[in-house]
Amino acid sequence: MTAHVAERGEGRGRVVLRLTGTHGASEHAVRAAIRIAKAYYSEIESLFVCDRQIFDAAGYSFVREIGVAQPARTRARTRACHSGEETEGTGAGESIAAIDVADISRHYELMARSLQRWVCDLARKEDVPVHGRVVRDTPLRALSTACQLSGPWNVVALAEPFTAVSLTRLDMLFERVTGMTGVVLVGPRAAAPQGPVVAVIEDVERVTGMLRTAERLARVNGSDIVLAVAEKSRAAQSFLKSEVIHVMAGRRMASVVELGRAGGGTGMLAEALRQLRPGFVIAEHGGLVVPLAGDLKPLAAALSCPLLVVR
């Protein structure tokens, strides 16, 4: 998303918040989406996705639902399995039944209304406009279609907390959802930290863009800004820090620090980020902090603040 698009209201700069009926929605993720929208004077498209794969599975005669027997069903589908395998190992208090498509539809409808009202209530308090929409599609394709319809300058926000596994799938998200500039996520330890906006700098050419984004996010809460440089070697990291300081000459004051010991790996970078106590982190997709492959468990465990991953 660019500043000029959001401020001129061209209908292309927006935050697409994806809500699903199969994953829990985090209030911290919703608030992060609101903060992004507020920073860019933008709007939120609250996109509730009814997972089409569940409806497709329900069309097969051998698919059954296994759930806890209770007066009122609170989940549309907990697990579908082959009828020849479903009876063995079913514990007391569980029920087995064919999937009722109409019941699933009603469940999704009620959940969509409830979540959309909740998002609107939170956004209204921050004077951020919200447009709600419900679609039946796969979660990834729903995002791709929504971003294509509203133009290239979208920031995607995922309502469910990220895990180490979902972080490794970000490359698929960036590949398939071409109409977005970044994705904002919160982890399983999400809280409401009030620390600085930390922009991870791994390329001096990206200082201006990263700083502009950090300034907008910081302005919402009056936060400080920290530019944390990261490189593969000590010499390269020291040189990058000096270059960033040079680029920053004459601009708004922001702290410039080295992010941990160079070459320490994702785990050490995650710990270095945690020690900065950030309120928001901006990092590059495919870089050292959010690599395309590798162990991302330390990052998922370390961050209690939102993470904005940019192209």
DSSP string, 11-64: S--EEEEEEESSSPPPHHHHHHHHHHHHHTT-EEEEEEEEEHHHHHHHTSTTEE
Instruction: Check whether residue 64 and residue 44 sit in a common domain.
Output: no
Residue 11 shares a structural domain with residue 90: no
CA dist list (Å): 12 to 36, 44, 180, 263: 15, 11, 10, 39
Answer for the pair 239, 211: CB distance below 8 angstroms, yes or no: no
Q: Chain-centre distance of CA 310, in angstroms?
A: 11
Strands (E), the chain: 14-20, 43-51, 63-68, 80-82, 94-98, 130-137, 154-158, 180-185, 197-201, 225-229, 255-258, 280-284, 307-310
Band of residue 148 on the pLDDT scale cut at 50, 70, 90: confident
- Report how far residue 102's alpha carbon sits from residue 92's, in angstroms, rounded to the nearest whole number: 27
Q: Are residues 29 and 105 in the same domain?
A: yes
Give backbone dihedrals phi and psi of 100, rounded to 5 degrees, phi first. Answer: -95, 105
State the number of CA atoms in the 13 A half-sphere of 56 facing the CB. 7
Q: Are residues 260 and 130 in the same domain?
A: no
Question: Three-state DSSP class for 283?
Answer: strand
Say if residue 43 is in the same domain as residue 108: yes
- Residue 172, H or E segment: helix 170-176
| Pair 23, 144 in one domain | yes
**pTM score of the predicted model:** 0.80
Confidence tier at 295 by pLDDT (50, 70, 90): confident
What is residue 45's predicted lDDT score, i.e. its pLDDT? Answer: 93
Q: Which of 66-70, 105-109, 132-136, 301-305 has the lowest mean pLDDT?
A: 66-70
Residues 222, 242 share a domain = yes
Contact at 8 Å (CB) between 217 and 197? yes
**Domain boundary residue among 161, 185, 209?**
185
Do 114 and 157 belong together in one domain?
A: yes
CB 96 within 8 A of CB 68: no
What range defines the domain where residue 124 resides? Answer: 1-58+101-185
Statement: residue 173 has pLDDT above 80 = yes
Query: Alpha-carbon distance 222 to 291, whole Å?
Result: 30
CATH number assigned to the domain comprising residue 206: 3.40.50.620
User: Is residue 112 domain-shared with residue 148, that is, in the same domain?
Assistant: yes
| Domain match, 19 and 163 both | yes
- 3, pLDDT greater than 60: no
Res 5: pLDDT? 41
Instruction: State mean pLDDT over 25-40.
Output: 93
Domain closes at, from 154, 185, 216: 185
Is-contact 80 63, C-beta < 8 A?
Answer: yes
How far is C-alpha 273 from the geometric centre of its chain's CA atoms? 18
Do 126 and 158 belong together in one domain?
yes
Are both 157 and 26 inside the same structural domain? Answer: yes
Say what the pLDDT of residue 29 is: 93
Looking at the predicted structure, is the pLDDT value of residue 273 above 90? Answer: yes
Give me the sheet containing 94-98, strands edge to edge. Answer: 80-82, 63-68, 94-98
Residues 298, 271: Cα–Cα separation, whole Å: 8
Question: How large is the average pLDDT for residues 46-51?
Answer: 88
Q: Which of 185, 206, 241 is the last residue of a domain?
A: 185
Q: With 80 as the cut, is the pLDDT of residue 34 above it?
A: yes
Count of domains in the chain?
Answer: 3
